[in-house]
A and B are shown apart, each in its own frame.
Chain A
Amino acid sequence: DQQVKQNSPSLSVQEGRISILNCDYTNSMFDYFLWYKKYPAEGPTFLISISSIKDKNEDGRFTVFLNKSAKHLSLHIVPSQPGDSAVYFCAATPETGNQFYFGTGTSLTVIP
């Protein structure tokens, strides 16, 4: 049972434009959400996170939005750069848990 879902396996965007990656979750106990970026033959690296008490968190070109009522979060990358081409995973965890639940990933390609 996939509790965190990324329904778009891939996304292509022109350099300089906005990339929007989406993630949905089913477990209402999740209250901390993270995005990871993964290059081939490497482990995922942490990108940005958001707590359920917020609806937006920014870090440079990266912004994560959380809509708790819709159980939906999104990652915006503006402007997109070729180096952003990677697989992006969203993950979620409940406040009292030690387990992170990951989505299946979205492969982003930024076209120069």
Chain B
Amino acid sequence: NAGVTQTPKFRILKIGQSMTLQCTQDMNHNYMYWYRQDPGMGLKLIYYSVGAGITDKGEVPNGYNVSRSTTEDFPLRLELAAPSQTSVYFCATSSSSGSPLHFGNGTRLTVT
């Protein structure tokens, strides 16, 4: 019972590089979310999806893109990495609007 799986666990990028953070879930949840957590800060919502084919911006979407082609997968794309994107990224799911979130274990990204 994997739940929410995020890969990779760690990554170091150079400024201007691009990468995709992967998130897959086996909980059959329609709602999926990407959050980032900066040191000493709360989690900030980047993007979310209420179902396959539907995505929407959260509080801090600039510099990121997402897609949701299947229920299971919700990848987060960074096109031109910047030092301000150094953070821990968490993917989460929920069964419906307002239901408690189930989080993956995070991806720690450093941009230098």
Residues of A near any B CB (own CB < 8 A) = 2, 4, 6, 9, 32, 34, 36, 41-46, 49, 89, 91, 93, 95, 97-105
Q: Which of B41, B50, B90 is A44 in contact with, Cβ under 8 Å?
A: B90
Contact A41 B105 (CB under 8 A): yes
Known A43-B106, A44-B90, A99-B48; judge A49-B100 contact (CB<8 A).
Answer: yes
Contact B102 A46 (CB under 8 A): yes
Which A-chain residue is minimally distant from B3 (CB atoms)?
A43
Residues of B near any A CB (own CB < 8 A) = 4, 31, 33, 35, 40-45, 48, 50, 56, 58-59, 90, 92, 97-98, 100-106
CB distance from B40 to the nearest CB of A (A): 6
Contact A46 B42 (CB under 8 A): no
